[in-house]
Amino acid sequence: MGFTSRTVAELVRLRWDDHRPGLWFEGRCRTHHEVAAGAAARAALLRDLLPSGAEPHVGVLLDNTPEYPMWLGAAALSGAAVAGINPTRRGAELARDILHTECRVLVTERAHLPLLDGLDLPGVRLLVTDTPAYTDLLAPYAGASPDTADAAPERRLLLYFTSGSTGAPKAAICSQGRLAEAGRSLVDHFGVRADDVHYICMPLFHGNAVIADWAPALAAGAGVALRRRFSASGFLTDVRTYGATYFTYVGRAVQYVLATPARPDDRDNPLRVGFGTEAGAVDAAAFEARFGVRLVEGYGSTEGGAAIQRAPGTPRAAIGRAAPGDDLAVVDPVSREECPAALFSADGRLLNGHAAIGELVNRGPHRFEGYWRNAEAEAARRGHGRGPARPDAAADGDWYWTGDLFYRDADGFLYFAGRTDDRLRVDSENLAAAMIEDILARYGDATAAAVYAVPDPVAGDQVMAALALREGAAFDPGAFAGFLAGQADLGTKMAPRFVRIVPRMPVTATNKIHRVGLRRDGFRCADPVWWRPPGETAYRPLDDADLAGLLAEYRARGREDLPAGVGLGIPRDPR
């Protein structure tokens, strides 16, 4: 398919006068033209609402409703940027996200207004989409047509949050040109056609849904079907109702769909492909066997700096090889030297993890466009200050450092081996350990707290915390659960699943918390460990029966291939 559009705004304008069905939501269908007209009206409104001299940023705190893609289109047409605001954030941290991205307009809906109660948001104009006042405000702009005069490939279009070692979430920048290019690339890769329908059930405040689902649909002129929030029980019904052929996912969502009761007609659906991450080989095979739908796993840095593509012949435990154009290497972050290839024992155990595991780095051209107002994090991504100076420092000064740990086998296949100490991914949410530690530091009985990731039995991570208690204190699980419930800024994914009570916090020779050792022990350690089983709010001791059940679930879900060093005692099989 040939493309000439260099901006998302141009792609929106192409849908003007396209009267084919274009967007489905809760029983109503809008044409491509209606969606483009809605984007044009909102762009005209936004031009009038943004104060002179202000950053052209609009925060969007919405479920997956038609307003979301229309505001994405509006921002593109007006040369503005959308900051996707995560509704799982709470209190001061939620306010921080809105104010950090300098949003002068915040678009939300009545269901999310309680999240804003009591927040100090000076200078932020609130638009509540499902109210008469909003309808009246938009009415004068109903005749606007798509105007791309304010659009350019280099203009910011997305500010989407990703957590990292700096603690507070970082707002990654994505330009119109990069998003349009990503859409075109996925159209070519998956053969997306104008008569396809993309099912968007992942939240649009994440890059997964916008970059991998909405953008290729827009580029190809395909239709979009929205689900307000993901529903496992509603997944297949929606797919059939809308004739969906393509969707994106995260591993947890796939597991939820597989957990629904099987039916003889499950394979009777129009889906052609699913594209996402963290499904795992076992669940991907089960999904294809049950629904007849191929899941294509990929690794892509949210910031656009690196990508790995899975292809036929990829070993079961591997992610794949570097995407075309990327020069990916596994690098020792101290020496900046490339790590040696991984060596495996006969039973598949990684033998030289200490030497083979390093940080995944893109040494070639990349599309990382920086973070909003975070020069320190941006410099870290580009490798500044990492390791000693090298003779070719000028050459590697703009390498892209992913922050993810990998190892590479002799055939060049890349294997994920974990994240840096301060990063976790829970139910597709990126979290920063430092933020959770700050909250746990308020717990009166604790003198020190460390937060780190342990692998989830299905996909991603779970939060584990180590607590050192004040002298004479004993861990009270009820009091601790009550403390967590009372923290207004504790997001819905942040509460620890496992709590280890240590006599003293382990530290390194430089008196830093020894997180590597904590992660290596996981929940199999000599210290008492308490946990909250899935679906429960109370903590209880992790006993031998619980441990056996967890390990059986790891095996059943194909999670033998866990990050090296995590003390679960499960053999690895790279093939």
Confidence tier at 164 by pLDDT (50, 70, 90)? very low
Overall pTM > 0.75: yes
**Tens of pLDDT along 331-347?**
988 789 999 999 887 86
In the numeric block, the tokens 């109503």 are attached to 28
Top mean pLDDT of 164-168, 298-302, 548-552 is at 548-552
My answer on whether 103 and 42 are in the same domain is: yes
My answer on whether 46 and 173 are in the same domain is: yes
Let me know if residue 439 belongs to a domain: yes
My answer on whether 404 and 467 are in the same domain is: no
My answer on whether 458 and 485 are in the same domain is: yes
- The rounded distance, in Å, linking the Cα atoms of 523 and 528 is 9
DSSP secondary-structure letter at 371?
Answer: B
My answer on whether 475 and 399 are in the same domain is: no
* CATH code, 138: 3.40.50.980
3-state class (DSSP) for residue 317? coil
Among 145, 177, 209, identify where a domain stops: 177
My answer on whether 458 and 473 are in the same domain is: yes
- Expressed as residue numbers, the domain containing 106 is 8-177
**Tens of pLDDT along 95-109?**
999 999 999 999 999
My answer on whether 21 and 165 are in the same domain is: yes
* 573 Rama sector, left if φ>0, alpha if ψ -120 to 50, beta otherwise: beta
Let me know if residue 205 belongs to a domain: no
My answer on whether 349 and 441 are in the same domain is: no
Question: Rounded to whole angstroms, what are the CA distances from 477 to 525, 539, 540, 542?
Answer: 19, 5, 7, 12
My answer on whether 373 and 493 are in the same domain is: no
My answer on whether 404 and 440 are in the same domain is: no
Supply 433's token pair: 């350990």
Among 177, 211, 230, identify where a domain stops: 177
**Tens of pLDDT along 411-469?**
999 987 766 556 677 887 767 677 788 789 899 999 889 999 888 888 788 999 999 99
Which run of H or E residues covers position 359?
strand 358-362
- The rounded distance, in Å, linking the Cα atoms of 554 and 199 is 30
Let me know if residue 397 belongs to a domain: yes
Let me know if residue 89 belongs to a domain: yes
Number of structural domains in the chain: 3
Q: Kindly tell me if the per-residue pLDDT of 165 is higher than 50.
A: no
My answer on whether 449 and 377 are in the same domain is: no
My answer on whether 371 and 475 are in the same domain is: no
Among 377, 401, 419, identify where a domain stops: 419
Q: Kindly tell me if the per-residue pLDDT of 289 is higher than 90.
A: yes
Let me know if residue 523 belongs to a domain: yes
Confidence tier at 3 by pLDDT (50, 70, 90)? low
What one-letter code names the amino acid at 330? V
Q: How far is CA 384 from the centre of its chain?
A: 25
